[in-house]
Amino acid sequence: MIATNPAERARGTWVAVGTFVLWGLAPLYWHLLKAVPSLQIVLHRVVWSALLVAGFLFWRDGRHWFRAVLAGQPRLWWMLLLSGVLISCNWGLYIWAVNAGHVVETALGYFINPLLNVVIGVLFLHERLRPLQWLSVAIAAAGVLWLTVQYGSFPWIAVALALSFGLYGVLRKLAHVDSVAGLGVESAYLFLPVLGWLLWSEFHGDGGFLALGGGPGYGAAANALLVLSGLVTALPLVGFAYAVRRISLTSVGLLQYIAPTLQFLIGVFVLGEAFDRNRLVGFACIWLALLVFVIDGLRKPQPAEVGELA
C-alpha cells in the first residue's frame, strides 16, 4: 500500500534514496576486504545477516515468525530455498568481481537487470511487451553484442549477475512474502550449512577469522568488517521494505538506477578500472535502452517488481 500522507511519502522517498546509495557504495566496503577470499566473505555475509535479520524478525513478529511466514503457502518453503541459493550465488559472484577489478562490469549487470527482467517476464510469466519495451531490449542486446565483439569475450559477469538476480526476482514475485521476512527464511535455510562450511574451513586452514584455526588470521579490522557485513546486507533491505510501502513501485524502479550509477563511477574514478571508447559505445547502448524503457514506463506505468541488490 502506498502512503497517502505526504510526509510519509517524503520519508519513503528519502529512505529509498539512502538505500540505493548504500547499495551503490557497497563496492568500497567489499574492496576493504580484498585480502579475504571471496568465498569466505560470502559465508560470513550469510551467517551474520541471518543472525541480524532473525533477531529483527523475532523483535518485530515474535518467536514464531518463521512458522508464520510459511503458514498457508505450501510451495513457499522450496521457493525461498531456491531463491536463497540464487541470491547467495549472486552475492558470491558480485564480491569476487569487485575484488578482482570488475566493478564496471558489475554495474553493467545491474543496468541490464531491468531489461532482462522484461524478457524473463515473457518467458516465465507469459507477459506481453509493448513496442518500446521490445525496442529497449533490442538496443541493450546490441550493446552486449558490441562489447562481446570488441573484447573477444562475452560479458559473462554482467549477464550472470543480471540473470541470477532476475530469476531471484521471479521467485520472489511468485512467493507472496515481504522483503525482510523472505530474506529471513532464505537465510534460515542457509544458516546451518553455511555455518558448518565456515567452521570447517576455519579449522582446516582455509579461513582466518579470529585465527580460530590457529593460523595468522585476517586481522582485527577485517574481522570487524566481516561481522558488520551482516549489517551492510540487512540494513538496506530493511530500508527497502520501509520505502516500498510508502512510495509507488514506479518511483522505486527509477530510483534503483542510483546504485549501478554509483558503482560505475566508483569503478572508473576511484578504483581506476579501464573504460575506453569501445566500452563507452557498449554502455551508451545500454543507457539508451534504459532511457527508452523509462520513457515507456512513464507513459504507461504498470506495477513492477524491484528486487534487492548485492
pLDDT tens by residue, 229-269: 999 988 887 788 778 777 876 677 678 888 899 999 999 99
Q: What is the pLDDT of residue 305?
A: 45
- Whether 268 contacts 104, CB under 8 Å: yes
Tell me if 304 is assigned to some domain.
no
Q: What is the pLDDT of residue 195?
A: 95
Residues of the chain with pLDDT under 50: 303-306
Determine if the pTM surpasses 0.85.
no
Q: What is the pLDDT of residue 304?
A: 45
Q: What is the pLDDT of residue 301?
A: 54
Tell me if 97 is assigned to some domain.
yes
Q: What is the pLDDT of residue 2?
A: 58
Tell me if 310 is assigned to some domain.
no
Domains held by the chain: number: 1
Q: What is the pLDDT of residue 287?
A: 92
Q: Phi then psi for 234, rounded to 5 degrees?
A: -85, -35
Tell me if 216 is assigned to some domain.
yes
Look up the domain containing 267 and give its range: 6-299
Tell me if 306 is assigned to some domain.
no
Tell me if 307 is assigned to some domain.
no
Tell me if 308 is assigned to some domain.
no
The H-assigned helical ranges of 245-276 are: 249-255, 258-265
Q: Which three cell numbers stand for residue 192?
A: 546451518
Other residues' Cβ atoms within 10 Å of the Cβ of residue 153: 9
Please give the angle made by the CA atoms of 155, 268 and 289, to the nearest 5 degrees. 50
Nearest 10 degrees: Cα torsion 250, 2, 232, 227: -150
Tell me if 104 is assigned to some domain.
yes
Angle between helix axes 38-61 and 76-99 (nearest 10 degrees) is 140
